[in-house]
Amino acid sequence: MTEDCPCGTGQAYSACCGPLHDGQAAATAEQLMRSRYSAYALGRTDYVFRTWHPRTRPDEVENDTTLTWERLEVLRSQGGGADDLVGVVEFRARYRTSVGAGAMHETSRFERRAGRWVYVDGDVEPTS
Ligand SMILES: [Zn+2]
C-alpha cells in the first residue's frame, strides 16, 4: 500500500506515521504531533489516548466522525529533539464538516516520559 500519509509529509503512511501507530516510539515531538494528527484523521483514537500524558488526558478520546481532517501544517517546532525533555509544536489543521470547512490552530506542549514523547496540553490560537 502506497497511500500518502495523512500528516502531509508526502511519504507513504507505511513509512511515516504507520509504524508509530503500530508501537514504534516517535523520535521527536513533531513526529509525535504528526502521528497524532494522522491518528485523528484515521479514527485511531486508541493511539491518541496512548500518547496523551496520563495527567492531562481525558477518560476517553472520542472519534468525531462528523469531521474530516484534510490538511496539517506545522508552523513552528521548538525543542522536542533527541536531547530534549520538552517540546512545543505549533500547527494548523484544516478540516471539513457537513456545514463547511474549518481550521484549528494550536500550540501544543509535549514531554518525554519514560523515553517516549507524550502530548501534555495546548493553547488554542486564534485562527486566521
Ligand atoms: Zn505521517
Read off the pLDDT of residues 59-96 as tens digits, 9 standing for 90 and up. Answer: 999 999 999 999 999 999 999 999 999 999 999 999 99
Confidence of residue 126 (pLDDT cuts 50, 70, 90): confident
Burial of 42 (0-12, 13-18, 19+ CB in 10 A): middle
- How far does residue 47's CA lie from ligand 1's centre (Å)? 13
Distance 84 CA to ligand 1 centre (A): 21
Which of 79, 106, 103 has the alpha carbon at shortest distance from 93? 103
Neighbour order of strands in the sheet with 116-124: 67-79, 86-97, 100-113, 116-124
Residue type, 109: R
What residue ranges do the domains of the chain occupy?
13-125
Q: Which long-range contacts (CB under 8 A, 24 or more apart) does 44-52 make?
A: 47/20, 47/21, 51/26, 51/116, 51/117, 51/118, 51/119, 52/118, 52/119
Query: Which residues make up the environment of ion ligand 1, defined by Cβ < 5 Å?
Result: 5, 7, 16-17, 34, 38
CATH architecture of 13-125: Roll (3.10)
pTM above threshold 0.85: yes
pLDDT in tens, 92-125: 999 999 999 999 999 999 999 999 999 999 999 9
